[in-house]
Amino acid sequence: MHKAVVLGSNYYIALSVFRSLKAFGVPTVAADYDITSCYAHLSKGCDEWVYVRDYKLDEEGFIDDLVSYASKQMLRPVLFPCADPYVELIDRHYSRLSQVFLLTYRTPGLATQVLDKSSVDALALKYGLKIPVTFHQDDPELSTKINEVGYPFVMKGAISSEFVKNFRVKLFVINNDNELKHYLNLAKEKEVDVIIQQMIPGFDDHMYTYDAYVNAQGEVIAATSCQKLRQYPINFGASVYTKHHYVKALHDIGAPFLSQIGWSGFAEIEFKKHEKTGEFYMIEVNVRTTNLNELLRKVGINFPYLAYSEAVGFPLESTFVTETQPYVFWYMYEDGLAILNYIKTKQLTFKDVMSTFNLKKVESIFAWNDLRPFFRFLRLLLKKMFKSVLRRIKR
């Protein structure tokens, strides 16, 4: 049987991929450079761990290690990237990797194009999706155009992972010309390509996801949608408390778009619903397994196994979850931090938070039948907190 090689076992997305594939008996492999900082590989769903060099320090060496491992297998493994930088690496080295791996991306370069905020916005406009008013940092009339629309705007990385790597936040909120000038200077100093985008009004619960699988013929064969309730960092972060919520309009918008751009495989489109008009605006597209994968699996769609099945030539089953299920994805640790910040900034009350806890929770890490990753995560978290306390004492 073809193995599945999973990249990024230091995070719960990889853990969910292991569990999703093991449910169908797929042999799985964690490929990483530092096993001491990981916890996903301890899952019962992971069969093997293989050392690869750190791509941030030695990209060619990382690819060499992957190719070397795959070349020794009787059947070509399927490669699963669980973070955006791995997606970009696969695109950059597509010709080498495709010789020894079965890849879930079929058009070289398209994944990076969809990840890039500027190019995916251009695709959205071409095919009629609404997007926030967006400008590039090099626009000579940037300040004038922003003032015509009206603040606030946000500054994002054209490639999100590059922005986060340099600034440790997902975006900057810009409220006036002085802040615009300041953040533009920061971006230029760090040589990070950025876009400046209009803020669509609405609280965090106006954020939605459309999750779909497109087969090699360009047909959406599996899909559903979710609604974020809380994010971390608050307002502009990743899902930490997100419920399943089917919205037909998202399928009507998202499915044609994915087919029209020639996408194949899994994709998650993030939308924001305008609090006054009710219109959905596309915010970004994720093209690797999503944070919400455990929730999606719980409601009936195993996206990693769909990708694996198509890669190895298994028949695909069409699955559309069109009735809202009473489940919510919960990343307990970061949701706790988010709740404190929501209450501190008076965006939510304690009563508001408690009113959302009536749904059945699908946890990101904890599982009664697979406890080792959770205990390793706790150990790593306590170690991180201890180091933080020591730094403060030394100051």
Neighbours of 155 (CB within 10 A): 22
> Dihedral through CA 23, CA 26, CA 31, CA 32, nearest 10?
10
Domain 4-103: which CATH number of 3.40.50.1820, 3.40.50.20, 3.10.50.40, 3.40.50.2300: 3.40.50.20
Contact between 329 and 207 under an 8 Å Cβ cutoff? The reply is no
**Can you tell me the distance from the alpha carbon of 382 to that of 130, in angstroms, rounded to the nearest whole number?**
44
Asked if the bond preceding 326 is cis, omega within 30° of 0, the reply is: no
Mean pLDDT computed over 163-168: 86
* Tens of pLDDT, residues 236-261: 889 999 999 999 999 999 999 999 99
* Torsion of Cα atoms, 212 then 216 then 219 then 221, to 10°: -50
Residue 10 has pLDDT above 90, yes or no: yes
Indicate where the chain has its CATH 3.30.470.20 domain(s).
204-363
Task: Give the model confidence (pLDDT) of 307-362 as tens digits.
Answer: 999 999 999 999 999 999 999 999 999 999 999 999 999 999 999 999 999 999 99
Confidence of residue 371 (pLDDT cuts 50, 70, 90): very high
Coil/strand/helix, residue 287: coil
pTM of the model: 0.92
Q: What is the pLDDT of residues 199-235, one digit of tens each?
A: 999 999 999 999 999 999 999 999 999 999 999 999 8
The pair of three-digit structure tokens given for residue 25, joined into one six-digit string = 């008996």
> How far is 268 from 337, CA to CA, in rounded Å?
25
Bond preceding residue 152 cis, omega within 30 of 0: yes
Q: Write out the residue limits of the CATH 3.40.50.20 domain(s) in the chain.
A: 4-103
Place of tokens 């006054």: 276
pLDDT at 253: 97
pLDDT at 240: 97
Terminal CA-CA length for the chain: 55
Range(s) of the chain covered by CATH 3.30.1490: 133-198
Tell me which of 3.30.470.20, 3.30.10.20, 3.40.190.10, 2.60.40.1180 is the CATH number of domain 204-363: 3.30.470.20
pLDDT band, residue 386 (cuts 50/70/90): confident
For the segment 264-291, the average pLDDT, to the nearest whole number, is 96
Question: For residues 384 and 392, what is the distance between their CA atoms, to the nearest angstrom?
Answer: 13
The whole-angstrom separation of Cα 101 and Cα 82 is 16
Residue 300 has pLDDT above 80, yes or no: yes
Q: Which CATH architecture has domain 133-198?
A: 2-Layer Sandwich (3.30)
Bridge pairing between strands 78-81 and 4-7: parallel
